[in-house]
Amino acid sequence: MQNKHIKIFFIIHQMATGGATRVILNLVNNLDREEFDINLVVFNNKGELLPKVKEHIKIYNLNSQRVMLGHKKTNSSINRRKA
């Protein structure tokens, strides 16, 4: 039986210093990569904490300054990863 990774997406505006961002950073960096396919979706690819994301984490930059405008891009990114 083939071991299939569980796909998990974390969505955040940007990786700027802050409480919620640090929680996301700790989660993505410490989840078991043998069990999970870890994805980080950012609306804006900026922030002091972005370089601290481990290399095996897939980062999707939506290039959207406004969260409301990024929802459609978020759905498209997630649907592409389902395949």
**Distance in angstroms (rounded) separating the CA atoms of residues 79 and 81:** 5
Is 36's pLDDT higher than 80? yes
pTM of the shown model: 0.76
Instruction: Specify the pLDDT at position 70.
Output: 57
DSSP one-letter string for 23-80: HHHHHHHHS-TTTEEEEEEESS---TTGGGS-TTSEEEE---SSHHHHHHHHHHHHHH
- How confident is the model over 37-75, as pLDDT tens digits? 999 998 888 899 999 999 999 998 888 766 655 566 666
- How confident is the model over 5-28, as pLDDT tens digits? 899 999 888 888 889 999 999 999
Instruction: Specify the pLDDT at position 44.
Output: 85
